[in-house]
Structure 1
Amino acid sequence: MGEHGTHHILSYGKLAAVLGCLLVLTLVTIWVSYIDLGFFNVPVAIGIASTKATLVLLFFMHLKYEGPVIIWSFVSAVIFLAIMITFTFWDVAFRY
């Protein structure tokens, strides 16, 4: 990349560990899908999916090595998305 930026090359071991975590979380997702958690089915599924998305963003998309402006713009977008999803769930829950 030269003088304009720095390379962030992750080791194969770290990438393999992240891949292993993603595969384990996928197996946990499948396992939890067979369990009736009642009201908590959706929050648990969203939590597992969010954890997997966070791992992909941090390590495979190198968000972990970006500057604070990129990180804050991403965090604000996620907060906005969470608010919109909450309003959608709220609207569906209180329909007549």
Structure 2
Amino acid sequence: MSGHSVEDIKKSVKVYIGVFAALAVLTVVTVAASYLDLSSGEAFFLAIIIASVKGTLVAGYFMHLFSEKTTVLAVLGLTFFFLIVIMFLPFMAFTDQAVI
């Protein structure tokens, strides 16, 4: 097997059940919020906040982003490097043109 003890597995299951419960509660809150008498801007803002919390829970626990911080930071660093390179490519191409 992979070397996980029974206690580790039970702990993981408890975390996943807790996240599932939080997502279920937030879904009920989302449905309840739809019945509130809010303006469209307020309703949109509330929906975005609830969706952001739910998305953070899903990404953090089910996609293991909270437990693999070094890998996430390495990928983000590499992404930032390529973003900078791609942003400066047009500038470098513009400065490389010869004036005739």
For this structure pair, what is the TM-score category when the shorter chain's length is used for normalisation?
0.5 to 0.7
- Residues 55-94 of structure 1: matches in 2 within 5 Å? 55-68=57-70, 70-71=72-73, 73=76
In angstroms, what is the RMSD of aligned CA positions? 2.7
Query: What's the CA shift string for 1:39-85, capped at 9, x where partnerless?
Result: 31101000000100000001000000123462472xx99xxxxxxxx
Structure 1: stretches of 5+ with no match in the other structure: 3-7, 78-96
Structure 2 portions without partners, runs of 5+: 3-7, 81-100
Aligned to 1:94: none
Which 4+ residue blocks in structure 1 deviate beyond 3 angstroms? Answer: none
Q: Give 2:53's aligned residue.
A: 51
Q: Secondary structure at the match of 1:65?
A: coil
Among the aligned pairs, what percent are the same residue?
A: 39
**Alpha-carbon distance change, 13 to 69 in structure 1, aligned in 2, over 3 angstroms:** closer
Aligned counterparts of 1:70 and 1:34: Cα–Cα separation in 2: 38
Radius of gyration: which is bigger? 2
